[in-house]
Amino acid sequence: MRTLFAFWFLGATTVSTAQLLSAEEAVRIAIEQNHGIRLAKLDARTSELMNTAGNAGMLPTVDAVGSYAIDNSSTKQTFFSGDVRNADNADQRVLDGAVQLNWTVFDGLAMWAAKDRLEALEGIGQTRLRQQVEATAYDVLAKYYQLVQLRKAIGTQQEGARISGERLRIAEAGQRIGSASGLQVVQARLDLSTDSAAVLDLRVQEATVAARLNALLGRDPATPVEVAPEIPAAGTLDLAQVRQAARNANSTVQQARQQAIAADLSVKELRGVLMPKLDLYANYGYTKSTSAVGLLQSSQSIGPDYGARISVPLFHGGQAGRALQVAKLAREQAGLTTQQAELDLEESILNAWTAYTTAAQRTALEEQNLAGARTQTDVALESYRLGAVTAVELRDVQLGLIAAEQRLLVARYEAKMAETRLKWLAGTLV
């Protein structure tokens, strides 16, 4: 039993050799190395590369084409003069090549709407990247502060084990001089074992949270992590300022608004399909043909041709009209989604603010309770040495101290996370 007590004493005083990792540094590492953020960056880069005038159909196209054909058909030709020419496997060869340019100069402004839509999609890609960064930063801070809380809780539980060990020492001394019974010694040992098991449970949770934090940072889950000794106190926030910042910068609402803009531009783009289309074209070609029969033995042409084409859509099975109606429905849905996102944001802010103010009050209350519990424990332990209180009474006081310290840790953690969530909703977390 003395060996067990010494083990917990050494566990409480072991110093980690890992370099201290601050919360800010953890977020910075996650932004650089987190795999989810890196994937979101690639998606945003894809949207950026797609946003070009060429993809919108605003630039001309130039193609080089060529062909070479051989015809060995049997041919019979009858002329008005009455002459008849027959040829088996009459050889006819055609070589054709050209450089072709085509440029749509008007399509009902659909190309301009398409370019604006690509701009909107690029903005959506950047907003999604920001959402991923913010969500990851929140998760990193949640696990970081949870790890701080758990290590403080381990220290608290180890202090409880230390008190149980002191109680066991007193009971064993009392048994030797006859002032304590063997039952008191057995009960003290059982309580020490219970406290030791509680420390083990907390260490399992600590290892799990540390591994998850490392995974969020994009590194080996087994990497040692040394965090700050205390959870910093929650800062002072103003509800009106949080609301205003959230309306302007919340990434979820911004994405909903961008989706609504993109849906509106899709409607404009499809309207252009119903308008006349004007193309300019120019070709520079070379053609040579030879024939074993016919009026011409060979023919060759080289040079440019150019002109303009206009096409007016008359009827295509009603496809364009139905596509336009679907796009209008999508635009209406996007508008409703934006309104719902704004309502959800207001609700989330109010809920987070309630949690923030309540946690601050709980923290102040639990600090007072803990001060009283510590005083009560010191008095009870001294009284136990003097035989003024029973082991059961001391145990109750001891458990009350551990519970008070754990409640304070939870209150501080909840206060900090409520502040962090409000910053996330306001778009000011990173």
One digit per residue, the tens of pLDDT, for the chain of length 430 reads 443 444 444 344 444 556 899 999 999 999 999 999 999 999 999 999 999 999 999 999 999 999 998 877 777 777 777 777 777 776 788 899 999 999 999 888 889 999 999 999 999 999 999 999 999 999 999 999 999 999 999 988 888 888 788 778 877 887 777 766 677 788 878 888 888 898 999 999 999 999 999 999 999 999 999 999 999 998 899 999 999 999 999 999 999 999 999 999 999 888 888 889 999 999 999 888 877 666 667 788 898 999 999 998 888 778 888 888 999 999 999 999 999 999 999 999 999 999 999 999 999 898 888 888 888 888 887 887 777 777 777 778 888 888 888 899 999 999 999 999 999 999 999 8
Specify the 3-state DSSP secondary structure of 85.
strand
Q: 55 and 112 in contact (C-beta within 8 Å)?
A: no
Specify the 3-state DSSP secondary structure of 361.
helix
User: Considering only CA atoms, which of 317, 414, 296 is closest in space to residue 366?
Assistant: 414
Q: 348 and 242 in contact (C-beta within 8 Å)?
A: no
Q: How far is CA 129 from CA 45, 199, 375, in A?
A: 10, 40, 51
pTM of the entire structure? Answer: 0.81
Q: How many Å is the Cα radius of gyration of the chain? A: 40
> What token pair was written down for 289?
């043909």
- Under DSSP, the state recorded for 20 is B
**How far is residue 232's CA from residue 85's CA, in Å, rounded to a whole number?**
103
**How far is residue 363's CA from residue 288's CA, in Å, rounded to a whole number?**
92
**How far is residue 118's CA from residue 270's CA, in Å, rounded to a whole number?**
14
For the chain, the structural domain boundaries read 2-9+18-59+108-276+318-426
Q: Please, is 274 exposed, middle or buried when counting C-beta atoms within 10 Å of its C-beta (0-12, 13-18, 19+)?
A: middle
Task: Residue count of the chain, please give it.
Answer: 430
Q: 324 and 270 in contact (C-beta within 8 Å)?
A: yes
**How far is residue 278's CA from residue 102's CA, in Å, rounded to a whole number?**
10
**How far is residue 15's CA from residue 12's CA, in Å, rounded to a whole number?**
9
Q: How far is CA 418 from CA 223, 231, 422, in A?
A: 28, 13, 6
Angle at 167 between CA 165 and CA 171, to 5 degrees: 115
> What token pair was written down for 89?
């496997």
92-106/84-87 β-pairing:
unpaired
298-311/61-71 β-pairing:
unpaired
Specify the 3-state DSSP secondary structure of 287.
strand
Indicate left, alpha or beta for 277 from its phi (over 0: left) and psi (-120 to 50: alpha): beta
Q: Which CATH superfamily includes the segment(s) 2-9+18-59+108-276+318-426?
A: Outer membrane efflux proteins (OEP) (1.20.1600.10)
